[in-house]
Structure 1
Amino acid sequence: MPELVVSDTVDAVATVRIDRPPFNAFDTALRIELGEVVRAISDDEGVRAVVITGGATAFAAGADLKALSVMEYEQISVWNRALQRVFNDIAALPMPVIAAVNGVALGGGMELALAADFRVLADDAVLALPEVQLGIVPGAGGMQRLRRLVGVSKAKEILMSGRRLDAREALSIGVAEHVVAAADVVTHAQALASQFAAGPRFALQAIKESIDLGADSPLATGLAMDKNLLAGLFATDDRKVGINSFFDHGLGKARFGTTPE
Structure 2
Amino acid sequence: MNPGMSTVRVERSGAVARIVLNRPDRHNAQNPAMWAALRETGAELSADPDVRAAVLTGEGPSFSSGLDLAELQPGGFLHTVAAAPEATALVRDAQAAFGWIRAAPFPVVAAVRGTAVGAGIQLALACDVRVVAEDATLAVAEVGLGAVPDLGATVDLPALVGLERALDLILTARRFGGTEAVSLGLALRAVPAAEVLAEAVAYAERLAAAPRAALSWAKRATREPDPARSLDLAAQGQVECVREMLSARTMPRAASRSGRTAPRA
Question: How high is the TM-score relative to the length of structure 2?
Answer: 0.84
SS at match of 1:109: helix
Structure number with bigger Rg: 2
Aligned CA distance change for structure 1 residues 78 and 182 (closer, same or farther; 3 Å): same
Matched, 1:139 2:143: no
C-alpha deviation, 1:33, in angstroms: 1.4
**AA aligned opposite 1:67:** E
Matched, 1:227 2:235: yes
Which residue pairs with 2:256 in the alignment?
none
**AA aligned opposite 1:12:** A
Deviation track 1:92-147 (CA, whole Å, cap 9, x = no partner) reads: 11001000001011111111001110001011111111111111111111111111
**AA aligned opposite 2:162:** G
Deviation track 1:182-231 (CA, whole Å, cap 9, x = no partner) reads: 11111111111111111132112111011111x2x1x3343333223222
Which residue pairs with 1:245 in the alignment?
none
C-alpha deviation, 1:238, in angstroms: 7.5
The answer for unaligned runs of 5 or more in structure 1 is 242-258
Matched, 1:30 2:34: yes
Q: Is the contact between residue 233 and residue 239 of structure 1 (CA under 8 Å) also seen in structure 2?
A: no
In 2, the alpha carbon distance for the partners of 1:220 and 1:15 equals 34
Matched, 1:16 2:19: yes
In 1, the alpha carbon distance for the partners of 2:87 and 2:196 equals 34
Map 1:112-123 onto structure 2 (within 5 A). Answer: 112-123=123-134
Which residue pairs with 2:75 in the alignment?
none
The answer for unaligned runs of 5 or more in structure 2 is 73-77, 250-262
Q: Is the contact between residue 240 and residue 260 of structure 1 (CA under 8 Å) also seen in structure 2?
A: no
Which residue pairs with 1:49 in the alignment?
53
- Counterpart of 2:6 (choices 3, 24, 27) is 3
In 2, the alpha carbon distance for the partners of 1:38 and 1:102 equals 22
For the aligned residue pairs, the C-alpha RMSD in angstroms reads: 2.1
Which residue pairs with 1:70 in the alignment?
79
In 1, the alpha carbon distance for the partners of 2:143 and 2:200 equals 31
Matched, 1:206 2:217: yes
Deviation track 1:47-82 (CA, whole Å, cap 9, x = no partner) reads: 111000003321011112331453315365343211
Q: Is the contact between residue 237 and residue 260 of structure 1 (CA under 8 Å) also seen in structure 2?
A: no
SS at match of 2:27: coil
